[in-house]
Amino acid sequence: MTEDSSPQYIRQTIEELEANLSDGWPCWAIGNHDVQRVATRWNKVDKQNANPAQVKMLNAMLASLRGSICSYQGEELGLVEAEIAYEQLQDPYGIAFWPKFKGRDGCRTPMPWDNETPQGGFTNSEAPWLPVVDSQKSFAVSTQESDEQSMLSSYRQFIHWRKTIPELMYGDIEFIHATDDILVFARKYQGESIIACFNFAENKQVLELPNNGQYQPLSGHGFDVVDLKGMKFELAAYQAAFFKNN
């Protein structure tokens, strides 16, 4: 994986900030209007197509960190970087350095709301500032909101579940484990704690929880509830698991 998407780098970044933050409250993002969309940037297998399982896991990971979250438009849909023709560019850097650097417009295209309208339901204008790319219409809200397995439905379910977990809303964070593939941390609040586990790999991983508590797998977050055997469990590719530490 590239450095900025590895669990080790995520842990290092957060721990460095927490060590210098004092009484502050962080705000985290994994995408914005100046970088490639995360569904492309962090996808090491297929840059042209989103991996739904990976998108769901990354959104859940972001929403499990201590602090507020900044979710860039389209991340809840799993939008990938759009291919923009040179004559459609607006970004001065893309125009100046094309084709070596195609600019930042690929992440700035309008969010598709309706896959059956010419401009994806974003506008009635015939020529918006940046085009609605046809390949992104399949990600439109209208195609995802009625599908319980879609990336949008997963996003909504996890955010709703998060609001019911005080540890995720308000708790401190303590990292337990980070490798090339696995990120594990605890969120603690008012004497209660949960463990959050994320598999960044393309294959299943075997994880072992710290031997300092009794763990109850949590449900309702949209991911499969794992089978905990002693302190060990298997976590499928691009999956997340949450445990209450009693």
The C-alpha R_g of the chain, in whole angstroms, comes to 19
Q: What is residue 3's predicted lDDT score, i.e. its pLDDT?
A: 52
- Tokens representing 49? 């197509």
Strands (E), the chain: 27-28, 68-69, 172-178, 182-189, 192-199, 205-208, 215-217, 232-235, 240-245
Write down the pTM of the prediction: 0.95
Question: Averaged over 114-119, what is the pLDDT?
Answer: 92
- Which neighbouring-strand residues pair with 172? 188
d(CA 113, CA 74): 10
User: What percent of the chain clears pLDDT 90, i.e. is strictly above it?
Assistant: 90
**Alpha-carbon torsion (149, 150, 152, 158), positive or negative:** positive
pLDDT tens-digit map of 139-188: 999 999 999 999 999 999 999 999 999 999 999 999 999 999 999 999 99
Confidence of residue 81 (pLDDT cuts 50, 70, 90): very high
What CATH architecture does domain 170-245 belong to? Sandwich (2.60)
Residue 1 has pLDDT above 60, yes or no: no
